[in-house]
Amino acid sequence: MATIKNVLLYVNRIKCEATSLESDITTYLNGIGIENSVIYADKQEHSEIKNFDLVITLGGDGTVLQALRRIHAYQIPILGINLGTVGFITEIAKGEWREALDKYIDGTLRVSNRTLLDIKVVRKNREIFNTIGVNDGIVTSNNIKAIIELKVYFSDIEIGEIHGDGVIISTPTGSTAYSLAAGGPIINPEMNALIFTPICPYSLSNRPIVTGGNEIIKVKINKNQRANILLTIDGQESIDLEEEDLVYFREHGRYARVIMSDKRSFFDVVRTKLKWSGGPRA
C-alpha cells in the first residue's frame, strides 16, 4: 500500500475538461484526508515540489513530459490522466481517474521506471549546457532547404557522418514519438536502451541503431554548415549550436517513475493508437 499524504495536481488548462476534472479530484482528495496543491502548466511557477508523494497530471503526453522534467530529481511517481489525443505516457483515461487513484493507494498499480537522457553541450572544451530529456534530444537544421553534416560517435568510436536533416537520440519511452515518425523502431518503454535515428539521411545506408543504455552517444557539428543548427529536447527546450560543438547523450542516473494502467498494456496502445496490426493480415 502506498502512503499518500500530499498530492500535486499539474494541470494543463488549455484542455477544455481540465478545470472541471481538477475540481473533482481536489474535492475527492479533501474528502479522504489527503492534502493537495495545484500547479498550472502554463504558469512559470517555481513552487517547491519535492515534498509530494504523488503527482497527477491533467493533460496529454506533453503535460507529463513537462511535469517529469520538473520532478525527476525527487523520484516522485506520476499518474497521467489523458486529456490529449494519443496518450502513450498518459495511460489513464479521464473516466478512470478515481479507480486508478484508489488502486495506486491500495498498492495494486505498478510503477514503471523509465530511462531518462542526460544531455550536455561542450563548446571549446567548456560545458555550456546541461539538461535532462524524457523522450528525446534532436539535432536539426532550422532551415528545411539545407542539409546539415554531423559526425556521430558511440563511446568515442566514430560510426560515420550523417548528411541530412539531423538526428534523433531517444529513450525507449520516446521511441513512439518523433523517432517513430522518422523510421525508428518501437521499443518496450521499460528497456534500458538508447535509439539513434537519422532524419531524412541523404544515403540509403544510414539506418536507426538501438544500443545499450550504458552507451555515450556523441554528435559533433561539422564545419562549413549551410544552415543554423538547433538542439531541441522533448519539444520543450532548445539551444542554438555552433560549428564544432559536441553534444553528448547518455543515460541519466535517475528514472522517470510512471504509474501504469492495469486496463491496457503498452502494446494495446500501440495497436489502438498507431493502428499497428501485429498479425499476418497487415
**Catalytic residue list contains 42:** no
pLDDT tens by residue, 25-72 = 999 999 999 999 999 988 766 566 778 999 999 999 999 999 999 898
Q: How far apart are alpha carbons 5 and 260 in whole angstroms? A: 20
Domain 116-253: CATH superfamily is Probable inorganic polyphosphate/atp-NAD kinase; domain 2 (2.60.200.30)
pLDDT tens by residue, 12-29 = 999 889 999 999 999 999
Least confident of 155-159, 181-185, 261-265, 276-280: 276-280
| Cell numbers describing residue 177 | 514519438
- State the alpha helices, DSSP H only, in the chain: 18-31, 61-71, 97-106, 178-181, 266-274
Chain region(s) in the chain for CATH 2.60.200.30? 116-253
Q: Which of 42, 61, 156, 245 is catalytic?
A: 61
| Cell numbers describing residue 179 | 523517432
Q: Are 187 and 195 in contact (CB under 8 A)?
A: yes
CB atoms within 10 A of CB 34: 17
Q: Which residues are annotated as a binding site for NAD(+)?
A: 61-62, 135-136, 163, 165, 236
What CATH code would you report for 6-110+260-274?
3.40.50.10330
**CA-wise closest residue to 62 among 166, 136, 121:** 136
Q: How far apart are alpha carbons 196 and 34 in whole angstroms? A: 43
Q: How far apart are alpha carbons 169 and 137 in whole angstroms? A: 5
CB neighbour class for 62 (10 Å; exposed up to 12, middle 13-18, buried from 19): buried
Terminal C-alpha separation, the chain: 43
Q: Which residues are annotated as a binding site?
A: 61-62, 135-136, 163, 165, 236
Chain region(s) in the chain for CATH 3.40.50.10330? 6-110+260-274
Q: pTM value?
A: 0.92
